[in-house]
Structure 1
Amino acid sequence: MPRVDIYWWRKYQARKRGRELLLGAQKLLRMHRDILEPRQVNGLKGLCADLSLALAENRPHLIVELSGKLEKELARAFPERSGSGWRENIEVLLVAAIVAMAIRSFFIQPFKIPTGSMQPTLYGLYPVENYNPRTPFPQRVADTLFLGKWPTDQHAPLLRGALNYLGWLIFGTWPGDGKCIMRGDHIFVDRFTYHFRRPQRGDVIVFETNEVKDLPESYRNKFYIKRLIGIGGDKIQINPPHVLVNGSILDSRPAFRRIYSCQNGYNGYVIPDFPPAKYFRTPADVYTVPPDEFFVLGDNSRSSLDGRFWGSFPRRSLIGRAIVVYWPFSERFGLIN
């Protein structure tokens, strides 16, 4: 049976403890040297230098001796106070909150799709027919995990009548008792990329509605998500099921071909009869996008309050590009195209 070298293990532990103590002492000095007296700073710096040399020369006995002295000096310089653990935890939480806010403000921001204007590319709220509160427990768990459905969310009364349904859904509101009918897709929006390149036709973008001139006041101060169709100077026409930009059918992305196919839930781009679109009454109507503005449409053209009704919006209202569906784990999970 091999013999264990106890002395070697003790030397290893001494070196490990010495290195950790040295790193901790150097960190404390960098953070708090402004509140220490000069003699304390010099004493700690001297012990750190001696311990660093002993570690470099691999002198275990000296490492143990200097580690003990450094610990005592640190205890005198930084006496333990009541609540110090709480303060450290609060500092960590504050730093984490600042980092999270910075990421949210400048890089990636989460959003939730509230309406069905981008279906079937992205899902928002939609009615659930024949809801059965006695759904088996395993199915309820699976629906929650993979489809984002919660049994307690599905108890708003459904309205009858095609006109009411169409009118309310177009304007992004579902009447009832004000409670959720079904959770929409949760997405991440890239706020960073557009600082370095211009938005491209076909991008799915998020923008604020504050400066949309022809949008009713009750729909201001909101975030909309639509597909970018035109940029400043473009001439837009809708000839169902196609959208034309500068006289040519826009098909720069596979997404447009899916929409034009009128299959798998897509219906192409339409000119709505009720309520009438302000800027597109016939296929011959042309809308010219003002300079430094964007024109957008929803993929679910039959139920989308978009540029057909209120024109374009200024570049400064742009939030960013929708890139990923991160919840629920459905067939739409992953990159948005």
Structure 2
Amino acid sequence: MRASPLSFSHKQALRRQRKELADLRRAIGRLRVRQKDLLSPEARQEAETFEREAASSLSDPQASGTTASLLLERGEKLATKLFPPKAWAGLRENIEIFLVAIAAALAIRAYFLQPFKIPTDSMKPTLYGIQTIARVEPPPPGPIRLLHMLLFGRQYHYLRLSRDVSLVDLVPGKLLVEYTDLLFDDGEKQRVWVAAPALVYKIGLRPGLFFRAGEPIFNFMTVAGDQVLVNKAVYNFHPPRRGEVFVFRTAGIEGIESTLRDHGLNGSLFYIKRCVGVPGDRLQIDPPFLRINGSATPPNAAMSRVEAARNGYRGYVILPGQLYLSSPEEQVVVPKDGYWAMGDNSPDSQDSRFWGPVPRNDLVGTGLLIYWPLSPRWGWIH
């Protein structure tokens, strides 16, 4: 007698059972190989026998659903018996994944990409440091402020008092981040999470200022400096090129290191500038132009933007106190294994004009892209 054909639902159930059986067979096989040194010969034999029987059933198109169901039940019991779940297995696995992710991130940072925060405006308007912007209107509501901070790096700072007061002193402090205690003549102290130098030099707060009731003590917004990724691998393949934005250490530059020592700072810093001269180049500054080997034509689009003195660029200039290229007649030849670094914001940049060429050994990599905050500059660095 011929067997009646299976219904569609029975066929679907059989396919599902066969797939589960195939997955279970592979899982037991992987565990058997991974833990072969921990299993007894009898346990290994039992696992191999199940794998063979499951493979035989899966290769037989006439095998019934009952056979697959029995094999599934037997395989699940076998897996529990031979490979019992370990205590805190899920937590351990998550910790392992976390540690592997950290190791991968550290490897990428060490050899390929490194984040770098723009500290000043010496590369403005190509790259921005921290901006302080005075405001008139009160800060937006809390959720909007949080969104602005996460996406655009904006933080709002606002303080006003309900009585007439005079500012007596600004006392700096630090608890993970810098803060300032504002002391008033009525004995009240207001702690604000802003560094004292920003309040003094950017906002103009100083002891003796008088504020009427309801008048803001300060109302301003700070915007985070551009956060960039630096390509650390590129100089393994070619030296810096004119026009590239590059990052370097200051360890081999005595003109910078001596200034740091004078301020009680030890250790080198990281600077970001534009490479405008490579070994052998003869340079002259003829504001707003930088002549390279006597040519009046900029060598690339980036330096052409600076020399055009438009859209925020102000050209290359000569500043008081610079040691090199201090007149249009003076020339400098970039030495072997040295690179000439200048900021795009030439009137407000401490660069090779003051402390000479950057040694080849100090190079870190090229500025690749701005990854945060979101702004019109977000994306590749040019």
Q: 2:140 aligns with which of 128, 133, 136?
A: 136
Mapped partners of 1:61, 1:251: distance in 2: 81
Alpha-carbon RMSD across the aligned residues, in angstroms, is 2.8
CA shift at 1:24, angstroms?
2.7
The structure where helix makes up a greater share of residues is 1
Residue aligning to 1:166: none
- Which residue of structure 2 lines up, in the alignment, with residue 36 of structure 1? 39
- Amino acid corresponding to residue 363 of structure 2 in structure 1: L
**Number of equivalent positions:** 314
Q: Distance in 1 between matches of 2:376 and 2:241?
A: 25
State the partner residue of 1:90.
Answer: 95
Q: What amino acid does structure 2 have at the position aligned with 1:332?
A: R
- Please state if 1:241 is matched with 2:275: no
Moved more, 132-141 or 14-23: 132-141
Stretch of structure 1 that moved more, 106-115 or 53-62: 53-62
* CA–CA separation in structure 2 for the residues paired with 1:300 and 1:198: 24
Residues 146 and 328, structure 1, Cα contact 8 Å, conserved in 2: yes
- In 1, Cα distance between the equivalents of 2:249 and 2:148? 32
Q: Which residue of 10, 25, 42 corresponds with 1:7?
A: 10
Unmatched runs of 5 consecutive residues or more in structure 2? 1-5, 158-192, 203-220
SS at 1:86 equivalent: helix
- Residue type of the alignment partner of 1:74: A
- Per the alignment, residue 128 of structure 2 pairs with 123
C-alpha offsets along residues 211-246 of structure 1, whole Å, 9 cap, x if unaligned? 223213427522111111122232222221112222
For the Cα contact (< 8 Å) 1:227–1:296, is it kept in 2?
yes
**Kept in 2: contact 1:154–1:181 (CA 8 A):** no
Distance 1:249 1:135, change over 3 A: same
Residue segments in structure 1 that go unaligned for 5+ positions in a row = 161-179
How far is the alpha carbon of 1:181 from its aligned partner?
A: 4.6
Provide Cα deviations, 1:260-302, integer angstroms capped at 9, x if missing partner: 11111101111111xx112221122222222223221110111
Counterpart selection for 2:256 from 188, 192, 215: 215
- Structure-1 residue corresponding to 2:22: 19
* Alpha-carbon separation, structure 2, partners of 1:125 and 1:85: 43
Indicate conservation of the 8 Å contact 1:127/1:158, yes or no.
no
- Decide whether aligned partners of structure 1 residues 231 and 133 sit closer, same or farther in structure 2, where only a CA change above 3 A counts: same
Residues 128, 154 of structure 1: 8 Å contact kept: no
Q: Which amino acid aligns with 1:19?
A: A
Three-state SS of the structure 1 residue aligned to 2:256 is coil
Deviation string, structure 1 residues 137-156 (Cα, Å, up to 9, x no partner): 38746743554211147773
Maintained 8 Å contact 2:257/2:268: no
Match of 2:236 in 1: 195
1:294 to 339, 352, 366: 339
User: Per-residue displacement from partner, 1:171-225 (whole Å, max 9, x unpaired)?
Assistant: xxxxxxxxx9531011122223332233221111112222223213427522111
What is the aligned counterpart of 2:85 among 80, 102, 108?
80
Tell me, in whole angstroms, the C-alpha distance in 1 between the residues paired with 2:338 and 2:38. 54
Q: Is the 8 A contact 2:153 2:373 kept in 1?
A: yes
Identical aligned residues as a percent: 35
**CA shift at 1:136, angstroms?**
3.0
Larger Rg: 2
Establish whether residue 157 from structure 1 lines up as the match of residue 204 from structure 2.
no
Deviation, structure 1 residue 331: 0.8
- What's the CA shift for 1:70? 3.0
Give TM-score, length-normalised by structure 1: 0.82
TM-score w.r.t. length of structure 2: 0.73
SS at match of 1:243: strand
Question: Residue 321 in 1 paired to residue 324 in 2?
Answer: no
Rounded to whole Å, the distance in 2 between the matches of 1:41 and 1:236 is 76
Paired letter, 2:381: I
